[in-house]
Chain A
Amino acid sequence: MSSSMAPLTPSSASFGQSGTVVRSSPFRRLLKNPMGLIALTVLIVMVLLAVFAPLLAPFDENFANISNTLASPDSTNILGTDSAGRDVWSRLLYGAQLTLLSALLCAAVAIAIGLPSGLIAGYYGGAFDATSNWVVSILMSLPGLIVLLAIRAAFGPSVWIAMLFFGILISPGYFRLTRSAVQSVRNELYVDAARVAGLSDSAIIGRHVFSVVRAPIIIQTAAVCGIAIAVQSGLEFLGLGDPSKATWGVMLNEGFKNVYLNSQLLLWPALAIGLTIGALVLLGNAVRDALEDSDQVREVKALDDAESANTAAAMGATSGVGDLHHAAPKPRTRASKEPPQVEEGTEHHLIKVSHLGVGYPQPDGTVKRVVDDVSFHVDRGEILGIVGESGSGKSQTAFSILGLLPESARIVAGSIQFDGSYTVAPSDDLVDQRRLASLRGKRISYIPQEPMSNLDPAFTVGYQLVTPMIRVLGISKAEAKERALKLLADVGIPHPERTFAAYPHEISGGMAQRVLIAGAISCEPDLIIADEPTTALDVTVQAEVLDLLRELQSRLNIGVILVTHNFGVVADLCDRVVVMQNGRLVEEGTVREILRTPEHPYTRTLLASMLEGKEPMTMLTAQTAPASGRGDQKEGLR
């Protein structure tokens, strides 16, 4: 096994230069994981025992001392003897040899069949793909052990033949793994880029595709070896093995026959099988964990990836994201039964957010703040725009109002009040879900960014519109349907009846967004939170949806919080604007103030980046490209 681990040790286990990102290889992480280390050690010991069996074993595997059967351990037979007087320790060692080698044969056969066919089927598709999928579906519907019985009946008790055929039977695992990995890679843009560079198919497969399947194959091989050992031992346990060869399964069979006389005979091979399979399973899990760790690194990176931060760093405007790692705050109390009264004179605001801080506790005990000291309010009939680039905390702010933050998020500071009472009281560290549950859908509603992924594909549009109305408004199904049809007509859907009966995959993205808007206004809310509601739409559809939002808002006199990165959208809809950067609110004002006379340098930079009205073919940023490049560098290579 240890040799097959080699590909996991990349030469790139390099450390970053001073003050930069430190990259650790998956192999290093594997060794750091106690489970991985134990599993690897057990496997190495097993392999060493098997390799040096002829040196370590005091007797031949089949040397039988008839006068000393079923003996207890003593100095000659350190684990005793079996019913034929054979030395258990020697048989265990030789058994390890045969068991491990035949398991490797099985994995090798499975890889030899599954990997190339999976690569070809995944990369080229077509007839080969269709045929091999058919073969795979047959192989996968065969119960392995039963087929091996037939093989045993046809070819006799050889463990090699059994494992060879089992390798064929289990090869679909590799095929499917490789095929789906290749299919997902085949359409990646970097493969297109390689094609444009003129790489041949084999070079692309070797350089770009194979590297993707390497790690999953190692995991799969650990599992396959374990299953092979289990199946092989099972067959031999049934007495279908080759009695002239010592394997753990044959020993198990022998032990079970004598279970009433000496149960130790059962113990040793069972222990060997259990340890080896256990180590293989643990190793597979540890490798998976080691690989997932690197994914996590990427996710965390992506979170504070905002290049917007460079602008700040370059201009020295506000603190960067890095400064937002505070020590863990004192635990705030959970929502108490009776929330305190809101500050007097603020009850009339529809929503009021005061000094809000949202953070994610990190494994090292610190809290990563994504929203910091944010305050604003929205009144009835007013549209507030929250503008910012990715990583500015604008969506996190919106979700804390809705109470739909991810589970690990904590309110680390501040309060939120809706219509004169707290949904997050000043001392709460979580959103008061009980209170929000009675508001969500009814008084506060939500329009998401991606229309298609926000409808459940298994239910019709109509069902998804009607159910909230029945639950929230308590009206009858018929009444709800009538209202839903009217809503669909209201949001400009040409054939409400058809859309009502359609499944989400049967309507276009623009229509789906209209359906979601209809859903958001269905229970006549006082506040709508729209998170980039037009970003996923084409510009002409965006214009129509903006028209629709404006019209509905003024007709129903709803308060709206519009989260967006687009100043055009802001100009089209908003009354007031807050600008966010790196979790902080940097500027607030009426839409005309912010767009015409921005005060904060960040707002100015953002507006300066707008292309509308700029002289074509001129530089947009004050600095020349290399200078701004240095800004990039400071941020990205932190």
Chain B
Amino acid sequence: MTSSSLLNVDNLVVEYPGKGFRAAPFRVLKGVSIDVNPGQTLGLVGESGSGKTTLGRAVLGLAPVTEGRILFENRDISHASRKDRRALSRDIQVVFQDPYTSLNPAMEIGAILAEPLTVQGQSPSDAHARVKELLDQVALPSDAIHRLPREFSGGQRQRIAIARALALSPKLIVCDEPVSALDLSTQARVLDLFLQIQKDTGVAYLFISHDLDVVRHISHRVAVMYQGAIVEQGPTEQVTRDPQHPYTQRLLLASPVPDPDRQATRRQARKELLAKWAEPVGA
């Protein structure tokens, strides 16, 4: 199968061994299929335990693929070896949720940013030059090189994590809840940075979040996950304005809006929806 998509996840199943002797394996992903187009953003929205993070980790090679395929540029990477992964890291990178644990507290920023470069065999001086470029790109001062992560605030650390992801000019960045731990105003600036970078570099994002507002703001297309399966996916406008699946409808109406009267209307709409689907979704 060939397609124009950059990343193609086809009927992916991920299982973790059950706890205890002869326990049934726990199926986190139950046949998930998504596509990410070059230079575009696929927003993946779902609640805790929906499997959205596992999907991202499977793409990164951090979760075991039980069935199905993950194609990157039409190459099957579902069971890539560590060596293949090293080559892939030039194309696929990651930004994690927690900016406090995603940077090694004992390493200086310069060393953190140079790590992906030196793994690929770049010389220290080339790496150094690239690190300066990267800091500039995420609007951090160049003297950050000799500082430790703890000297930076949450938003700045997330900029550092983004810089690390950009180091090898990847084609795809998996963003796992990258703004969830940030304050509102910081979140806005980091989202701006994501958009700016996409505009400048043409990178594609698989953008994972529990927040439908965030996903709507940044994505070209949206996929909604619920209990290990995609219940709905399509263009952002369609999924977030006129959702078809009851779960998406419920998700949309559950998120409160910053106006008491509109929120009251929305609350009413949600109650009506719940009454209509008397049996709650997935029960």
A-to-B contact residues, CB < 8 Å? 12, 14, 16-17, 20-21, 23, 188-190, 192-201, 203, 207-208, 211-212, 297-298, 301, 305-308, 311, 389-390, 538-540, 542-543, 546-547, 565-572, 574, 591-592, 595-596, 605-614, 616-621, 624-630, 632-633, 635-637
Contacts and interface: CB of A to CB of B under 8 A. Distances in A.
Contact of A632 (B147, B156, B195, B213): B156
B256 A546 contact: yes
Contacts of B102: 188-190, 192-193
B61 A196 contact: yes
Given A565-B184, A616-B217, A628-B192, A196 B256 contact: no
Interface in B49-97: 57, 60-62, 82, 85-89, 92-94, 96-97
Given A539-B47, A616-B236, A632 B254 contact: no
A306 B107 CA distance: 23
A627 B192 CA distance: 12
Nearest to A594: B258
Q: Mostly helix, strand, loop or mixed at chain A's interface?
A: helix
Contacts of A308: 183, 185-186
Interface of B: 47-48, 57, 60-62, 82, 85-89, 92-94, 96-98, 101-108, 112, 115-116, 119-120, 138-141, 143-144, 146-148, 150-156, 159, 161, 164, 182-189, 191-193, 195-196, 210-214, 216-219, 236-237, 250-251, 253-263, 267, 270
Most chain A beta carbons < 10 A, residue from B154, B213, B256, B257: B256
What 8 pairs between A and B have smallest CB-CB spacing? A629-B139, A198-B86, A568-B256, A567-B258, A609-B188, A189-B102, A389-B183, A611-B213
B185 A612 contact: no
A196 B101 contact: no
Contacts of A617: 195, 217-218
Contacts of A627: 139
Nearest to A21: B151
Contact of B139 (A20, A197, A626): A626
Given A197-B115, A540-B254, A628-B192, 12 more contacts: A188-B104, A190-B104, A198-B82, A305-B153, A311-B185, A389-B186, A543-B256, A565-B183, A570-B258, A571-B256, A624-B192, A630-B139
Contacts of A199: 115, 119
26 contacts: A17-B143, A190-B104, A192-B60, A192-B94, A196-B85, A197-B89, A199-B119, A301-B150, A305-B154, A389-B184, A390-B183, A539-B255, A543-B270, A565-B183, A565-B184, A568-B256, A571-B258, A571-B260, A611-B213, A611-B217, A616-B218, A620-B192, A625-B193, A629-B138, A632-B153, A637-B143
Contacts of A194: 115
Contacts of A629: 138-140, 159
Contacts, number: 240
Contacts of A610: 184, 213, 258
B139 A632 contact: yes
A498 B150 CA distance: 45
A607 B159 CA distance: 23
A362 B219 CA distance: 47
B185 A211 contact: no
Given A193-B102, A389-B185, A566-B256, A614 B217 contact: yes
A297 B150 contact: yes
Most chain A beta carbons < 10 A, residue from B152, B251, B258: B258
B16 to A, nearest CB: 13
A568 B263 contact: yes
Nearest to A391: B183
A609 B184 contact: yes
B188 A301 contact: no
A633 B140 contact: yes
A606 B185 contact: yes
A298 B257 CA distance: 36
Nearest to A542: B254
B270 A189 contact: no
Contacts of B105: 298
Contacts of A547: 267
B162 to A, nearest CB: 11
Most chain B beta carbons < 10 A, residue from A190, A308, A390, A591: A190
Nearest to B167: A197
B89 A198 contact: yes
B141 A637 contact: yes
Contacts of B255: 539, 543, 568, 612
B197 to A, nearest CB: 9
